Amino acid sequence: MDNDSSLKDIVLRYQVSRSRDLLAALQMALASYIYHYPRKVFHRDHDAASVFYLYVFERLETVVLKFEDHGYRFTTWFTAVLRNLYLNHLRTRSDDASDRSLPLSENTADSVHGMPEDIARHECSEQDTRRDNILARLKDRFSVRDSLLFQMHFLELFKESIVIPLADHLSLSVHGALSVIERARRTYRKRYLRLLSLQDTYTRICSRVKKEDAPSRSLLARKNGLALRMEQIQLTVPFRHIARVFSVTLNLVSKVITKIRSFLRTRTSREAA
Amino acid sequence: MNCYSTPDLLRMVDAGKPDNSFLTHIRSCTSCAHAYVSLTFSISAMDLLPDSPLFEDIPMPSASLSLAPHGFVVKHAGGFSLASPIPVRGKRRSAVSLISGPVILEPLDRCTFRIVISSVRRSCTLVRDNDVVYRTGQRDERVFISDLCTGSYRLTVDGIAFSFTVE
């Protein structure tokens, strides 16, 4: 969203006048931002994005009425709300949601301020639970450095939990640790952009397949090929970059990550058995 | 130490660099650290990654025309193409038609025109001045809606909207 002040102005005017035209203008301005939120932040495909878009669209009127101008940007506030809405959306879609959603910030002071009340808590998604399980398994068995090497490799899963331990381990400020993580994420940005563009192509082909009564075999083969190519894209930080950040050898990074992966695999298969 | 409120967290994210007391606080407070970091990453992803071309605002084809004895007089036709066939020797020149996707607007006489839709896959609705004139919810080939006169029209064919005003 380019013009934050004009958006804020529309929202504040809408809160007073409740004009349908202002709401329509707001919907137009926010539509693309809402649609692409799950794609850009949570790597979801177009199907998930369109379902979430409808979920937010139904609630948009109520959401914008909760905005209060306290010196922050509307975009920042709206992104925080979108995150909570997304986690709520996941919770409502999952069957055993009550087991998975654990409030993380019961003690956050007046966290409901300016947020819709039912979505004020920062809640765990399925991904958070998975991450916490892995971290709990690694904690006793491996050293902090080894665990951090592993988390750095699978950064997309651990990017939110790694910041403080990384700052402590490398004796950096939190801001410094965030910069280290941003630099690491840049190593797979091209792959991520490639994934987004493959998702676009895949969705276009799917809509063609749906439209045609008897889709050609080449079209179906292309669709399957694209699905396979999307699966093959791994958003991981290269070993070389990790070795440079932690000032260790490439061989060590490779050994540690392989060891932890095989440990987790045996633990999971043992638990499943 | 007390946790930071949501407005404080939002202002901290806006500022780009948190102050020292906040940095000290989030070292010991998982909740605030998680909220701050997740919001920072969300905003950076939304700012840095490009939008997909699949979600573009495509302007609705719209036209403004009037009926005249020899056919349409087109004042504005955004998203519509004008079809003006070359006259065959010895025959009258055909009247101008407006075409956009599966929709063709054809003048019939000095006060009426018709709409021809090449194919309807799911649904088609024509609204004139807020009244539904025609509606079908089934698959159909070559739909003709005739004897239409002046008014403000909005046509939806399989979810694609067209708007035109005839005077």
- The CATH number given to whatever domain includes residue A4 is 1.10.1740
Q: How far is CA A31 from CA A24, A53, A92, B50, in A?
A: 10, 8, 22, 15
Residue in B30, B15, B34, B23 with CA at minimum distance from that of residue A176 = B23
Predicted local confidence at residue B9, as pLDDT: 87
Compute the distance between CA of residue A11 and CA of residue A16 in angstroms, rounded to an integer.
9
Question: Which chain A residues are Cβ-neighbours of B141 within 8 angstroms?
Answer: none
The residue type found at A132 is D
Predicted local confidence at residue A79, as pLDDT: 93
Predicted local confidence at residue A99, as pLDDT: 36
Residue A100 reports pLDDT greater than 50: no
Residue A128 reports pLDDT greater than 80: no
Q: A35-48: per-residue pLDDT in tens?
A: 999 999 888 888 88
Q: Name residues whose C-beta falls within 8 Å of residue A58's C-beta, 6 or more positions apart in sequence.
A: none
Is A154 within the bounds of a domain?
no
Measured from the Cβ of residue A157, the count of other Cβ atoms closer than 10 Å reads: 17
Domain boundary, last residue among A69, A102, A135: A102
Predicted local confidence at residue A110, as pLDDT: 32
Chains A, B: CB pairs < 8 Å: 135
SS3 at position B80: coil
**CB nearest A111 (choices: B6, B34, B38):** B6
Domain boundary, last residue among A102, A123, A157: A102
Query: CB of A127 within 8 Å of any CB in chain B?
Result: no
Angle between helices A217-232 and A189-211 (to 10 degrees): 160
Residue-number span of the structural domain to which A86 is assigned:
1-102
Portion 217-246 of A in contact with B at CB < 8 A: none
Is A258 within the bounds of a domain?
no
Q: pTM value? A: 0.68
Predicted local confidence at residue A127, as pLDDT: 67
Band (pLDDT 50/70/90 cuts) for residue A125 is low
Is A124 within the bounds of a domain?
no
Q: Token pair 């975009």 is at which residue?
A: A75
Domain boundary, last residue among A87, A102, A117: A102
SS3 at position B42: helix
Give the whole-number percent of chain A exceeding pLDDT 90.
30
**CB nearest B49 (choices: A159, A173, A196):** A196
Q: Token pair 């025309």 is at which residue?
A: B65
Most confident of A72-86, B14-28, B78-92: A72-86
Is A13 within the bounds of a domain?
yes
Give the whole-number percent of chain B exceeding pLDDT 90.
10
Question: Which chain B residues are Cβ-neighbours of A108 within 8 angstroms?
Answer: 3-6, 31-32, 35
Is A184 within the bounds of a domain?
no
| Average pLDDT score over chain A | 82
Most confident of A124-128, A222-226, B118-122: A222-226
Query: CB of B38 within 8 Å of any CB in chain A?
Result: yes
Query: CB of B139 within 8 Å of any CB in chain A?
Result: no
Contact B18 A178 (CB under 8 A): no
Residue B43 reports pLDDT greater than 70: yes
Measured between CA atoms, how close is A60 to chain B, in angstroms? 19
Is A269 within the bounds of a domain?
no
Is A3 within the bounds of a domain?
yes
For B138-161, give the DSSP string.
S-EEEEEEEEE-SEEEEEEETTEE
Pick the more confident residue, B1 or A130: A130
Structural contact between residues A52 and A81, judged by C-beta atoms closer than 8 angstroms:
no
Is A123 within the bounds of a domain?
no
The count of structural domains within chain A is: 2
